[in-house]
Structure 1
Amino acid sequence: MGSLHPTKKTMKAQQYDARDNKLHLNEIPIPTPRAHELLVKVACASLCHSDVMLFEPNDQGLILSSDPCVTIGHEGSGFVVSSGSGVADLGFREGDKVGFLCAVDCCFECHACRNVHNSWCVTGKTKMQGFTLNGYFQEYVCVDARAAMVLPEGLDVYKAAPLFCAGVTAFHGVEDCGLEEGKWMAVIGCGGLGHLGIKYAKAMGLKVIGLDIAPQALDAAKESGADHVFNTLEDKDWQKKVIELTDGGVDAAVNFTASKKSYDDAPAIIRPGSGILMVVGIPQKPIELNALDIALGRYRVRGSNNGTCYNMRPCIEFSAKHNINAHLTHYKLEEVPKMIELMNSHKAQGRMGVRFD
């Protein structure tokens, strides 16, 4: 690694342009940190399915930038270069290896910021990098120091980026089910999020069934420690087999996919009366639930907070303790369109990221 400080005033960035709904490799100014911000030299930025949602019909209320061009990417890690005012007491030093979340311009102190999600901050001013402000598929970025942390010993800065969205989301999708050791969990969707969910579930002492339609995702599920896997497209009896394996149904089904059908299929494998459907993945179309099932207590429906500065640290420290990292393939910045194509075709295994040297 050479000098952290930029040697020029501009940098290349992969930017989404709303005018033609395409990605463009643009030359843009290197930013200057504002109050509470760190200037970070990005080590790795990884691709999340939420990034791909930019190119899809916006039926789920995705808030976009008023500027037609915005750098995509909201999973990142890197090195502290400099800081704005108000950061001195937070303990960051130049050269620190850090990870960070994408919320900015929120207060970080209200009830919603502390206990729900920064999206619901009482100021109503929250912006998400990668969507309403420039994200991380660029060499330098300014992030809010209050939503950043120094990486624990043992986490590689070039591999840690996926933990700061996929990791936190998967960790809490599993942990927030509140299952005791030895209980059964179905992980629906074993790709970029799901393979991490399986690793966390196994580290928490759960028995895990991986469900997917892509052979490479099921291979990742096995490598991540799943006790059983089923291809729900090819195996017509998968629901019956899950019920038999678990003696009545899984104690929780965590859905990491953007598939409405997978949500429709999930209740059939959940243990009646005590089982949980954990909603994580966001399909283009609204999911449908049977009101009678809910009213009569057939199963419970929960959601999981996908990351604030207050629940970020437990995930990252747990990951370091249990040596949990995403299966990550590195690409060049120019190859981000290829990464998106691989994600859309379900041919990717694990997570894909750009490494900046």
Structure 2
Amino acid sequence: MGATTTEIRTPESLRPRKTTQRAQQFDQRDGKLHLNEIPIPSPKPNELLVKMACASLCHSDVMMFEPNDQGLILGQNPVTLGHEGTGFVVEAGSGTTGFQPGDKVGFLPAMDCCYECYQCKNVHNLYCKTGKVNMAGFGCNGYFQEYAIVDARAAMVLPESLDVYASAPLFCAGVTAFHGVEDAQLEPGQWAAIIGCGGLGHLAIAYAKAMGLKVIGIDVVDSQLEEARDQGADHVFNSMTDKDYVDKIKEITGGGVDAAINYTASKKAYDGCPAIIRPGAGKLVVVGIPLQPLTLNALDIAMGRFKIIGSNNGTNHNMRPCIEFSAKHEIKPHLTFFQLEELPKMIEMMHEGKARGRLGVRFD
């Protein structure tokens, strides 16, 4: 777990001492990261200039370096990576209310959308009726830089008990993990299988246990399964090395889990989910996004063998319940800190499955 801190930053200490900053930027022309010196931006109306405390790495960032057919589009080139972070308010743009310089804040990456249409409130900002949404780290500069612009409407002041450095993963991984479990709509005592026990899954296990569920962690990396145990999983299985894991899960649960919640980017992991779901009563919750489209048996769906539910990575309208739940139940990410220049190493570790929990850059 990341170390906690009660550090208070004064507004004056947060202000930039120069007009440029270091930023880790992805360049489509060579498909590589470059540590560039770029201008420090100024906030426009409804925006905050934030001194970054921590930016943590998400698998979606790593997808930049992989071929994919899931609609991952960059809006500028080069673009600063990172869409998961926390920091200190430096300056608020005109029309912004509820924030003061020095406030410790977390935020989600949507920019330029209206935040008020049906899609923004009930689906996702990606589908804003204005068609103008940008996502930090993809369509516009993200958080692996010293100062970042965030939309105040997608930000919140952190609860006092949450550490500004250690809480960065909550603002993507946490919100995603929380709603993946909550959207399954299980009752205390029911069985949830968490598929993928890494950056998202280890938090999902903690949330599921706090909600009173019985949890089975499934992964192909033993270190991730160790993290699953640490987070309170009742049982764990390596689906690659344990050839009998399906039968064991059916025996433990009396026929199958009530929900299989998949946080992986593995199509093979999705292919294996139906076998462990309780027939007629179970659900497959789709959270992780593989490089390839999913293949499902239409007969299983039509005949009601299981139901399929989608659970997205959160909006400003469902961010606060996750953060407040995390504070109330003292749920903290397993976070390892690095320096900004070490981002390539972080990406390599995640790509090779060597990361336990979440990896983040700490800005001091």
Deviations 1:45-97 (A, max 9, x none): 000000001111131011212x320000000100000011110xx31001000
Structure-to-structure mapping, 1:1-357, within 5 angstroms: 3-65=13-75, 67-87=76-96, 90-357=97-364
Over 2 Å off, 4+ runs: none
Q: 1:277, CA displacement in angstroms?
A: 0.2
1:305, distance to aligned residue in structure 2 (A): 2.6
Among all aligned residue pairs of Structure 1 and Structure 2, give the percentage whose two residues are the same amino acid.
Answer: 69
> What TM-score do the two structures reach when normalised by structure 1?
0.98
Q: Which runs of 5+ in 2 are unaligned?
A: 1-8
- CA offsets per residue over residues 282-338 of structure 1, 9 Å max, x none? 000001000000000000000013111110000000000000011000000000000
Contact 2:55–2:85, Cα closer than 8 Å, also in 1: yes
Distance 1:162 1:188 in 2: 19
Q: Deviations over 1:139-169 (max 9, x none)?
A: 0001000000000011000011100000000
Whole-angstrom CA distance in 1 between matches of 2:15 and 2:263: 38
Provide the C-alpha distance between the structure 2 equivalents of 1:115 and 1:343, rounded to a whole number of angstroms.
31
CA distance in 2, matches of 1:42, 1:217: 28
Q: AA paired with 2:149? A: C
Question: What stretches of structure 1 of length at least 5 have no aligned partner?
Answer: none
TM-score w.r.t. length of structure 2: 0.96
- CA distance in 2 between counterparts of 1:239 and 1:169 reads 26
Structure 2 counterpart SS, 1:91 = coil
Q: Is the 8 A contact 2:68 2:292 kept in 1?
A: no
* SS of equivalent residue, structure 1 residue 202: helix
**Does the 8 A contact of 2:48 with 2:92 survive in 1?**
yes
Root-mean-square deviation over aligned CA pairs: 0.7
Quick one: distance in 1 between partners of 2:45 and 2:63?
A: 31
Q: Distance in 1 between matches of 2:348 and 2:153?
A: 34
What is the total number of aligned residue pairs between the two structures? Answer: 354
State the alpha-carbon separation in 1 of the partners of residues 95 and 306 from structure 2: 47
